[in-house]
């Protein structure tokens, strides 16, 4: 497992103890070598562009360099950290919503939403109905600051906007901007991480 991050978050958001546990895959565009971060002295992956091109693929692709340490030995076992905290939100059904559309938006399934809300007919929901949705699969992990506030660490995906992310987690754009010291709310990049207050 590696931590994928931009230089700002590797320096200002992630902790030294996390850096001691996991190597860094850093994304920093327009430079020959990424800047040193406070927590990591080196990197194992360096994404230097998100505008590469490859024959047979339409659109841009990421370009990376890796050290040999990034590759697993054949004898190594990949383990997945177990999440013990489920995150449940309340979602108000909007006109035109379907359970499949809502499930896709929150990285869950129709069956999970129907089960959590005891919905006998998944094809029958109505505007104004409040649904409980388990969004546990839609975040990378949870961190907790010294004030005991829980934050989701969310990795921005291609096509995301602060508005769509704020709506997804039921928070204000301003709270995301403030928590992440974002200078330009209209300029976010796929692959960067954001802290989102969930308490």
Shared domain for 19 and 65, answered yes or no, is yes
Shared domain for 157 and 125, answered yes or no, is no
Question: Rounded to whole angstroms, how far apart are CA atoms 55 and 61?
Answer: 11
Predicted local confidence at residue 76, as pLDDT = 59
Shared domain for 147 and 127, answered yes or no, is no
Shared domain for 149 and 121, answered yes or no, is no
Predicted local confidence at residue 132, as pLDDT = 87
Q: What is the pLDDT of residues 147-189, one digit of tens each?
A: 445 677 788 888 889 998 888 877 889 989 988 888 888 888 8
Predicted local confidence at residue 31, as pLDDT = 83
Shared domain for 124 and 149, answered yes or no, is no
Rg (alpha carbons) of the chain, rounded to whole number? 19
Shared domain for 147 and 125, answered yes or no, is no
Predicted local confidence at residue 146, as pLDDT = 46
Position 32 in a domain? yes
Residue 89's CB is within 10 A of a number of other CB atoms, namely: 15
Position 75 in a domain? no
Q: Write out residues in the chain with pLDDT < 70, as ranges.
A: 72-85, 137-150, 198-199
Position 46 in a domain? yes
Position 77 in a domain? no
- Cross-strand pairs, 88: 134
Q: How many domains does the chain have?
A: 3
Position 76 in a domain? no
Q: Are strands 150-155 and 3-6 parallel, antiparallel or unpaired?
A: unpaired
Position 79 in a domain? no
Q: Is 30 exposed, middle or buried (0-12, 13-18, 19+ CB in 10 A)?
A: exposed
Predicted local confidence at residue 156, as pLDDT = 87
Q: What are the structure tokens assigned to 112, written together?
A: 């999970």
Position 80 in a domain? no
Looking at 36, 70, 104, the residue that finishes a domain is 70
Predicted local confidence at residue 80, as pLDDT = 56
Q: Is the pTM of this model over 0.75?
A: no
Looking at 18, 37, 70, the residue that finishes a domain is 70
Owning domain of residue 34:
3-70
DSSP letter, residue 36: P
Shared domain for 60 and 117, answered yes or no, is no
Looking at 43, 70, 97, the residue that finishes a domain is 70
Predicted local confidence at residue 75, as pLDDT = 62
Predicted local confidence at residue 193, as pLDDT = 85
Position 78 in a domain? no
């Amino acid at each position: 497992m590696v931590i994928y991050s931009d230089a700002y978050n590797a320096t200002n958001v992630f902790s030294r103890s996390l850096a001691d546990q996991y190597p860094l895959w850093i994304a920093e565009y327009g430079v020959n070598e990424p800047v040193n971060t406070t927590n990591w002295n080196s990197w194992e992956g360096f994404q230097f562009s998100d505008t590469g091109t490859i024959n047979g693929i339409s659109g841009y692709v990421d370009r990376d360099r890796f050290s040999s340490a990034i590759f697993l030995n054949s004898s190594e076992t990949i383990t997945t950290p177990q999440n013990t905290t489920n995150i449940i939100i309340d979602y108000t059904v909007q006109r035109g919503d379907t359970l499949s559309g809502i499930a896709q938006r929150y990285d869950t399934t129709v069956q999970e939403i129907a089960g959590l809300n005891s919905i006998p007919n998944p094809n029958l929901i109505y505007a104004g109905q409040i649904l409980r949705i388990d969004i546990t699969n839609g975040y990378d992990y949870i961190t907790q600051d010294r004030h005991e506030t829980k934050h989701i660490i969310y990795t921005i995906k291609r096509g995301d906007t602060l508005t769509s992310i704020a709506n997804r987690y039921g928070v204000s754009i301003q709270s995301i901007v403030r928590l992440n010291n974002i200078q330009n709310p209209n300029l976010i990049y796929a692959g960067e991480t954001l802290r989102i207050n969930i308490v």
